[in-house]
Amino acid sequence: MGWRTSLEPVGTGSSIECAPDYSEPLQAWRLWEVGNVDAAPRLRSLYRICFWPVGEPFEARCEAHRFRLRRRARHTAPTATCTCGVYAVPFELIRKLALHDRLPQGRSLVIGAVSLWGDVLECESGWRAALAYPHRLFIPLTCSAAEEKAAGLEDYGVPVELLDTRSVTDALDTVAGLAA
């Protein structure tokens, strides 16, 4: 397929092929904890009180207008002028996030690959997206009731793997080998 290099109209002898308006979702990594919704284990954000829905994408929305004295108009997420969106990082940064960014104590971490699509903005250390859904989940056996949680998370319809590891560091090393 040739690319036009000028702004001149395409001649009548050429055929125009339109590019599709979609692409594959971007694959990145996240950490979640597991919480219960109606007694069923569900993925929960580590920093916000929100659960990821089963069978449909998690849709980002901007909450900044709720926390400002001067009300901002609502906008679709993400935008370059706000911090809203579903966050995910390349695998190389998941270790830093898990070990050095002061994660809330006492929570059982779930490591996961996530698909991002819709509007996706590249940021300094990852991406912010409009839509996301888990792609693959890893639960360390150090997580309390890991087997029960894994069985419940299978409702998402993605592979859920138990990791026989003793720490978050060991779990990340194991997932690194699987992610390569």
Length of the chain (residues): 180
Query: Residue 48 corresponds to which tokens in the numbers above?
Result: 């916000």
Q: Does 11 reside within a domain?
A: no
Residue 21 lies in a domain: no
Residue with tokens 């940021």: 123
Q: Residue 146: its pLDDT value, please?
A: 92
* Residue 135 belongs to a domain: yes
Angle between helices 168-179 and 91-100 (to 10 degrees): 180
Kindly report, residue by residue over 137-152, the tens digit of the pLDDT. Answer: 999 988 889 999 999 9
Residue 69 included in any domain: yes
Mean pLDDT of 63-70: 58
pLDDT tens digit sequence for 97-136: 777 655 555 677 899 999 999 999 999 889 999 999 999 9
Look up the pTM and report it: 0.80
What domain range includes position 30? 26-179
Q: Identify the bridge partners of residue 86 per DSSP, sorted by sequence position.
A: 129
pLDDT at residue 169 in the model: 82
12 domain residue, yes or no = no
Give the Cβ contact number of residue 161 at 10 Å: 13
Residue 15 placed within a domain: no
Pair 46, 31: CB distance under 8 Å: yes
Please indicate, yes or no, if residue 17 is contained in any of the structural domains.
no
Task: Give me the number of domains the chain comprises.
Answer: 1
